[in-house]
Chains A and B, each alone.
Chain A
Amino acid sequence: MKKNISIHLKVWRQKDANSKGKMVSHTVNGVNPDMSFLEMLDTLNEDLIKKGEEPLEFDNDCREGICGMCGLVINGTAHGPNSGTTTCELRMREFQNGDTIIVEPWRAKAFPIIKDLVVDRQSFDRIISKGGYISIRVGNAPEATSILVAKENADLAMDAAACIGCGACVAACPNSSASLFTSAKISQLRLLPQGEPERNRRALNMVFQMDEELFGNCSNHAECQAVCPKSVSITHIARMRREYLKAAIKYVD
């Protein structure tokens, strides 16, 4: 059996959207290296509850890297030190006994803090609602094999579709841009023949909404790609730009 370790935490605590927040220190003892990062925070919370203090609020659900609900900035990096993983997939064996870990929420104007480490990401839903879909009514769908898709395109579309909407890309970007998120959807639907009819409207409307939500512009830092737990590539941003430009030219009157 592995030896348990102790961890010092400096975490962001903020009562609600309107209050001011601050960093608070906590120590967690008896941390098993096989624990997940979130189980370490569970352990802290059990201690706090037993002491009659308020537990730390953080979002999570699936705890296996697919729902996109979790998301913490750990020692300055969105989702922590390992690439291609979410916060919930991080294990405590990545840390040493006595380490101090700094834990903060996603920080962006478009993601206001609700409490402690929990932020509001409904701006993402609004971007999707402006065109992140193919308008097909139930009952109207043609036989599936009538739409052929080359394996290469299906695979590329799947790479883009792997986005879990966690928002790490925004948290990591110096401009708080949502370009990686938005482009992943535009790109997925661009790569499939089903997406063709609404192609122009989609690019224009989704990009418009992204700006409306106070996300910043992309200036090619590529920090988003580095922290993306699903390794979504910035080539999708390039595709989004092309789509947007083509659409904008078409619609100039």
Chain B
Amino acid sequence: MKLDSKIPSGPLSEKWDKHKFDINVVNPKNKRKFTIIVVGTGLGGASAAASLGELGYRVKNFCIQDSPRRAHSIGAQGGINAAKNYQNDGDSVWRLFYDTIKGGDYRAREANVYRLAQNSNNIIDQAVAQGVPFAREYGGLFANRSFGGALVSRTFYARGQTGQQLLLGAYSSLMAQVHAGSVQIFPREEMVDLVLIQGKARGIITRNLRTGEFNAHTADAVVLATGGYGTAYYLSTLAMNSNASAIWRAHKKGAFFGNPCYVQIHPTCIPRSGDYQSKLTLMSESLRNDGRVWVPKNKGDKRPPSQIPEGDRDYYLERKYPTFGNMVPRDVASRNAKEVCDDGRGIGDTGLAVYLDFKNAIADFGRKTIEERYGNLFEMYHLITDEDAYKTPMRIFPAVHYSMGGLWVDYNLMTTVPGLHVIGEANFSDHGANRLGASALMQGLSDGYFVIPYTIGGYLGGASLEKISSEDDAFKNALASSKGKFEKLLSIKGNKTVKEFHRDLGQILWDKVGMARNEKGLKEAIKEIPKLREEFWQNVKVAGEAETLNKNLEFAARVGDYLELGELMARDALNRRESCGGHFRIESQTEEGEALRNDEKFTYVSAWEFKKASNWELHKEPLIFENVTLTQRSYK
């Protein structure tokens, strides 16, 4: 099968408009005849379901939580980018496009990223009209800030709760459509398989999480908006129910997986404090604007920070990167923290942390100013660690935060399975090998409000869709096999808990497919993960029953899928013998230890086709750059 990205012809800035004109438009009278399943109610899913409902389609919208409003997107703190140029600092669609493509280390499609930058402005208009209370200035206009090292102030925010407010905006539009009768919501209903008829996505199998009942849902097209797979690592900043099962089931039914090894590790998280740790808390990276990162100069220096004199401290980011200092991009900051800890200079009980010190900032600007800037973050830090960061430096450590990889989609956001579309963090598009701060919210909403409503019409208008029913064999078989899988999990009655398996997988991924990867470690991971998977299916101990609410069983199924995806992540990382964005191959670095791309060999998207267990075929989508010149990043 040949990958076709379906990028429209013509100049970059005209592609999307031209494409919107060229694609099929479904007659309004016919829209009611089409049913679309949207799985997920985060920014991607809620905005898509609401917009498709508005257009007149019949929409069925599923999520794991007890209400669509609680999707993982709710936790995003920092903000959302848009090229409005309200601050008159020289921003433009072009600049947002350029920053995003460069930030992704030139591993994303120009056409997709340009469209994203174009849509960014519409998103702000839409959100404001919905009543999203973005921060304002006294004159009533918007307050914007610069985020993640951007040179312009293009980030819109609502206190530290931007994700919450944008999601509640999308959720409110969704509920309006529920009221209008065009959208039906299915909370606590998890998709466990995708159903294909004549090669096209025609529905899903779900498990009702309250009753354990399996259901078949038919449709004319399916949209997955199920979020990222960071929880494969066990510990991450993602919400506990985040998982890859929906996209993994789809992958096994024929959807190619794009760039599974691209994962973002965020540098400023609160370090783990013990084995019981269940998730990690992100601290906004704005802290690095004023905080100074350091560790002791000498290995094993266990003195409290206040007793370590300046001469015995190593402000390693300032030392290595005199221009950017503490403000280097996320991947560089994370990798350097790992290096000093590997070197035995990490701090705290675990030795897996570095200091983020505000002493100088407090001396320079006064405590009051620092309180104004970061008061809520210091409070959160205190709540979790019981330490006062005004008096003693914060302890931070990197944590898994975002997956740039996901199901491969074309320009229409359709996978290699006709009728199956993927939006938001679940797809691979737009962020290349590294995502910039405040860009994920933008992408989820761009996909949901402004791309999929058009492109899905293009599919439905042109596809020949035979009449189907949930009684068809394809549905019956998929339902039976899903049911069988959950019964199997309960019947193993082994000795090791789901959590123990998840933790073991997380450890392998963190050590070998984490911040720095090499051939040896990746080859080990490729051996160890299938072994762990085999053990899982023989020795997992799952509690409770099938016919009630049973979270342990839900998690067992999700960990089972992660034990397959984890292997593919390692294989993809092994294949990509270059460093780019979040993917750092130890074998591919400059003399100064910086990430080194290999554009000649690797300017392509890796799209993996599932063949059978531990067996994939790699397809390559070449990335063609006609508008930007590829440069090597340097932050010295």
Cβ 8 A contact of A147, one of B129, B163, B164 = B129
Residues of B within 8 A of A129 (CB): 175-176, 178-179
Determine which of B74, B134, B136, B165 lies in contact with A150 in the assembled complex, contact meaning CB atoms within 8 Å: B136
Of the candidate stretches B306-314, B378-386, B621-629, the one touching chain A is: B378-386
Across the interface, do A125 and B544 meet the contact criterion of CB distance under 8 Å? no
For the complex, what is the distance from the CA of A118 to the CA of B188, rounded to whole Å? 12
Enumerate 27 A-B pairs (CB-CB under 8 Å) in ascending A order.
A16-B548, A34-B273, A34-B274, A42-B499, A60-B240, A62-B74, A63-B278, A64-B75, A67-B65, A68-B69, A69-B65, A120-B210, A125-B67, A125-B175, A130-B179, A133-B176, A136-B126, A136-B129, A138-B449, A138-B453, A144-B125, A144-B129, A154-B133, A158-B133, A161-B158, A189-B131, A192-B133
B173 / chain A contacts, CB cutoff of 8 Å: 133, 136, 138
B457 contacts chain A at the CB level, 8 A cutoff: no
A125: chain B residues within 8 A (beta carbon): 67-69, 175, 178, 185, 187
Contact with A along B118-137 (1 / 0, CB 8 A): 00001011101111011111
Instruction: Indicate if B543 sits at the interface (CB-CB under 8 A).
Output: yes
Instruction: Give chain B residues whose Cβ lies under 8 Å from the Cβ of A48.
Output: 543
The chain A residue with its CB closest to the CB of B136 is A154
Residues of chain B having any CB pair with chain A under 8 Å: 50-51, 54, 65-70, 72, 74-75, 84, 86, 122, 124-126, 128-131, 133-142, 158-159, 161, 163-165, 168, 171-173, 175-176, 178-179, 185, 187, 210, 239-241, 273-274, 276-279, 281, 349, 380, 383-386, 449-450, 453, 497, 499, 541, 543-545, 548-552
Contacts known (A120-B66, A188-B131); A145 close to B541, Cβ less than 8 A: no
Contacts of B541 in A (CB 8 A): 49-50
Question: Bound state CA distance, A189 and B130, in angstroms?
Answer: 9
Residues B544 and A54 in contact, CB atoms below 8 Å apart: yes
Contact B383 A89 (CB under 8 A): yes
Set A69, A85, A162, A165: member contacting B383, Cβ < 8 A: A85
Closest 4 CB pairs of A and B: A148-B140, A133-B172, A141-B129, A141-B125
Bound-state Cα–Cα, A146 to B117, Å: 21
Q: Which of A1, A118, A134, A148 contacts B131 (CB 8 A)?
A: A134
Give me 18 other A-B pairs in contact (C-beta within 8 A), A62-B70, A68-B74, A129-B179 excluded. Answer: A16-B549, A49-B552, A50-B497, A64-B281, A114-B210, A128-B172, A129-B176, A133-B172, A137-B54, A138-B173, A148-B140, A154-B133, A157-B133, A164-B74, A165-B67, A188-B131, A194-B129, A194-B130
**Known interface pairs A60-B240, A61-B70, A151-B137; A141-B128 also in contact (CB < 8 Å):** yes
A39 / chain B contacts, CB cutoff of 8 Å: 276-278
Contacts of B68 in A (CB 8 A): 125
> Would you give the shortest CB distance from A251 to chain B, in whole angstroms?
19
Contact A66 to B384, CB < 8 A, known contacts A49-B543, A129-B178, A157-B133? no
**Residue picked from A115, A128, A145, most chain B C-beta under 10 Å:** A128
Say yes or no: is A149 at the interface (Cβ < 8 Å to chain B): yes
B276 pairs with A142, CB closer than 8 A = no
Q: Which of A62, A114, A124 contacts B549 (CB 8 A)?
A: A114
Pairwise interchain contact A59-B278, C-beta atoms closer than 8 A: no
In the complex, which residue of chain A has the Cβ closest to the Cβ of B164? A66
- Nearest-neighbour CB distance to chain A for B62, whole angstroms, equals 14
Give Cα A143 to B129, complex, Å: 9
Task: Please indicate the chain A residues that have their CB under 8 angstroms from the CB of B545 in the complex.
Answer: 54
Q: Which of A49, A52, A61, A120 contacts B65 (CB 8 A)?
A: A61
Q: State whether A46 touches B499 (Cβ < 8 A).
A: yes
Nearest-CB distance from B21 to chain A (Å)? 15
Q: DSSP majority for the A interface? A: loop
Tell me the smallest distance from the CB of B557 to a CB of chain A, in Å. 16
B142 in complex: contacting residue of A1, A49, A144, CB < 8 Å = A144
Indicate whether A83 reaches chain B with its CB closer than 8 angstroms. no
Residue A81 lies at the interface, judged by CB distance under 8 Å to chain B: no
Q: Given the complex of chains A and B, what is the CA–CA distance between A55 and B122 in angstroms?
A: 47
Q: Which residues of A contact B240 (CB under 8 A)?
A: 60-63
The verdict on A195 contacting B179 (CB below 8 Å), with A49-B543, A53-B543, A61-B72 known, is no
B141, A67: Cβ atoms closer than 8 Å: no
CB–CB A154/B125 < 8 A:
no
Q: With an 8 A cutoff between CB atoms, is A10 at the interface?
A: no
Within 8 Å CB of A115, what residues of B?
210, 548-549
Report the Cα distance A55→B245, complex, angstroms: 23
Residues on B with beta carbons closer than 8 Å to the beta carbon of A57: 549-551
Q: Does A38 contact B (CB under 8 A)?
A: yes
In the bound complex, residues from chain A placing their C-beta under 8 Å from that of B125 are: 141-144
Q: Which residues of B contact A55 (CB under 8 A)?
A: 543-544, 551-552
**Chain B contacts of A67 at CB under 8 A?**
65, 70, 72, 74-75, 239
What residues of chain B lie closer than 8 Å to A149, measured between beta carbons? 133, 136, 140
A122 adjacent to chain B (CB < 8 Å): yes
Q: How far is the CB of A126 from chain B (nearest CB, A)?
A: 9
Within 8 A of B (CB), among A48-100: 48-50, 52-55, 57, 59-64, 66-69, 85, 89, 91, 93
Min CB gap A197→B, angstroms:
12
Known: A42-B276, A121-B66, A124-B67. A194 touches B134 (CB 8 A): no
Residues of the B chain whose Cβ atoms lie less than 8 Å from the Cβ of A134? 129-131, 172
Shortest distance from the beta carbon of A208 to any chain B beta carbon, whole Å: 13
Q: Among B51, B161, B273, B550, which residue has its beta carbon within 8 angstroms of that of A138?
A: B51
Decide: A69 near B133, CB < 8 A? Known: A55-B551, A57-B549, A148-B141: no
A43 within 8 A of B: yes
Q: What 0/1 readout, one digit per residue, does chain A (215-237) give for beta carbons within 8 Å of chain B?
A: 00000000000000000000000
Shortest Cβ gap from A240 to chain B (Å) = 16
Residues of the A chain whose Cβ atoms lie less than 8 Å from the Cβ of B75: 62, 64, 66-67
Contact with B along A228-250 (1 / 0, CB 8 A): 00000000000000000000000
Distance of A161 Cα from B276 Cα, bound (Å) = 33
Looking at the assembled complex, report how far the CB atom of A190 sits from the nearest CB atom of chain B, in whole angstroms. Answer: 10
**Is A32's beta carbon under 8 Å from chain B?**
yes
Looking at the complex, which one of A136, A139, A142 makes contact with B130 (CB distance below 8 Å)? A136
Chain A residues near B552 (CB, 8 Å)?
Answer: 45, 49, 55
Residue in B closest to A32 when the chains form the complex, CB atoms = B274
